[in-house]
Amino acid sequence: MRRRVIAGNWKMFKTQAETRAFFKAFAPLVSASKHCDIVTAPPFTAIPAAVEAAKNTNIVISAQDVYWEKEGAFTGEISTSMLVEAGCRYVIIGHSERRQFFGDTEETVTKKAKAALAAGLTPIVCVGEHLSHRESGQTHKVCKTQFDGGPGLLTPDEFSRILIAYEPVWAIGTGRTATPEIAAEAHKFLRQCAAEKFSSAHAAALRILYGGSVKPDNIKGLMAQEELDGALVGGASLDPKSFASIVNFTS
């Protein structure tokens, strides 16, 4: 059985002081939660505060992006070793907002994932279709293009160390969640892509998180689908009580 992961993506929210306040409230609410891995992805500047606050807890810290070069004249970028030194264990790669506003492509997703893996970070690689794709019946085509051109280009060993997040763009921040059945169908398709590119063992072991308006009141229904191995949560991960009740969906 694949171990579940509940990850919070804070996007461009929270200062260091707000981060410390969040963990003070959140950590006790999930300290007894053993059924899943708990990940929080603050913005870069709040990572050290988050790592410090999450020490001796069951919460690990992720970054929201990374650059693939080791170092150099790349103004504004952050390297994998900087994230590792800061205490990150995961990194989100190819989030739809990075693809839409900051030029991430399949090619940069692959480069970032390879660099992250080489540094010992666990990439959470995001894929997902826009509303126009879904309405024109192109969901599989888009997911396959993003899969084949991104995680599909990793080596089998590299692939066995990543997580994928299926995030339909029309469900992100819109309050419009994919139904558990729609999400499960897309996850099944991505697992099939993994079986075709790698092996059925790789596909069976791959953890695929669902993201897009996950809230305390829909997490249970989503997690009832065995294709869904966890969630990547945006807005609802900013409030300690709301994120804790998502983590504690089993209770």
> Which residues make up the interface to ligand PGA (CB under 6 A)?
9, 167, 172-173, 211-214, 232-236
Q: Rounded to the nearest whole angstrom, what is the least distance from the CB of residue 211 to ligand PGA in the complex?
A: 4
Nearer to ligand PGA by Cβ, of 79 and 218: the residue is 218
Taking the least distance from each CB to ligand PGA, the nearer of 98 and 197 is: 98
Rounded Cα distance between 48 and 7, Å, is: 18
CB of 7 to ligand PGA, least distance (A): 8
The least distance separating ligand PGA from the CB of residue 75, rounded to whole angstroms, comes to: 26
- Residue 202 identity: H
> 43 vs 212, which CB is nearer to ligand PGA?
212
Quickly list DSSP for 28-48. HHHTT--SEEEEEE--GGGHH
**Does the active-site annotation cover 95?**
yes
Choose, from 95, 97, 129, 227, the residue flagged as catalytic. 95
Query: φ, ψ for residue 88 (rounded to 5)?
Result: -75, 150
| Shortest spacing between CB 59 and ligand PGA, in angstroms | 17
Residue closest to ligand PGA, measured at CB: 234
Q: Do the beta carbons of residue 128 and residue 100 sit within 8 Å?
A: no
| Residue 135 annotated in active site | no
Q: How big is the chain, counted in residues?
A: 251
Nearer to ligand PGA, 64 or 79 (CB): 64
Residue with tokens 């907002």: 97
Find the catalytic residue in 97, 106, 129, 167: 167
Distances (CA, A) of 122 to 65, 80, 90, 199: 12, 11, 4, 20
Give every CB contact of residue 178 below 8 A, 6+ residues apart in sequence.
168, 171, 186, 210, 212
Q: Which residues are catalytic?
A: 95, 167
